[in-house]
Amino acid sequence: MGVLNTTPDSFSDGGAWLDAHAAVRHGLALAADGADLVDVGGESTRPGASRVDAEEEQRRVLPVVRALAAEGVAVSVDTMRASTAAAALDAGAALVNDVSGGLADPSMSGVVAEREAPYVAMHWRGHSDVMSGLSDYDDVVADVRDELAARVQALLAAGIRADRLAVDPGLGFAKTGEHGWSLLAHLDALDALGAPLLVGASRKGMLGALLADESGTPRPADRREDATTAVTTLAAAAGVWCVRVHEVRPSADAVRVVARVLAARGCVAPVPAGSPA
């Protein structure tokens, strides 16, 4: 999944793709580099970000979704709003990627169920302006697993089909860097959810802190690609369904390497429950 943020304030590439024509060109480049999905978002969810209204979010994303879909690109829409999800599906989006897992907008599950759209539900505890204060866990792996399990059950009860549902542990969302490393070390614990797993670690603060210089200054976001590719490699070996990344080609190459090694061993990665149709 290639990241395409049509926002002025995303933590890594904010402002880079505000112009719709530039965004479409970048989306086509992500697809050419090997992205199976291009994830178009119009609202930053970086820590501390303020929300934009639905009209502005849709103004940013819908022309891009429509143009990419017309070019045959499989597009996901990164949104917490049911109205934006519905409009993007009408414009040709193939999947809804909701960082709130349906908690931010009670109407989301109904829209997704009615459209029978594939849906990614992320672990979430609150909006960007408050989530840094919501990172208390007894055991982050068990707590995230259990909270995601509750969301999965609620979404299934709302009518979303099991074969349309994937989950995301939400690295960096109401979680410290140490929480993120614990989750990456125990991705197998999330297999119990019975859903394909998406991991989004690309350029995140946990990587910047790990790669900090001698003064403790985190490495800038645009210099975290090698670390992102390392996470992709580990995720692919663990059988993760999808990784969400800013630079597609290195991660796509890493996935191919892992697949070839597994094939040489006479096995395949243990992908849980297939992938959302």
The edge-to-edge listing of strands for the beta sheet with 165-168 is 2-5, 38-41, 75-78, 95-98, 119-122, 165-168
Alpha helices in 33-81 (DSSP H): 54-70
Alpha helices in the chain (DSSP H): 20-32, 54-70, 82-90, 108-115, 140-157, 177-185, 205-210, 225-237, 248-264
Rounded to whole angstroms, the Cα distance separating 164 from 261 reads 29
- Residue 190, classed as helix, strand or coil, is helix
Task: Please confirm, yes or no, whether 175 is among the known catalytic residues.
Answer: no
* Residue 98: DSSP 8-state: E
Q: 19: how many CB neighbours lie within 10 A of its CB?
A: 13
Q: Which of 81, 164, 204, 224 is catalytic?
A: 204
Is 13:224 a contact under the CB 8 Å cutoff?
no
Task: Please confirm, yes or no, whether 81 is among the known catalytic residues.
Answer: no
Q: Which of 66, 81, 151, 244 is catalytic?
A: 244
Catalytic site residues? 204, 244
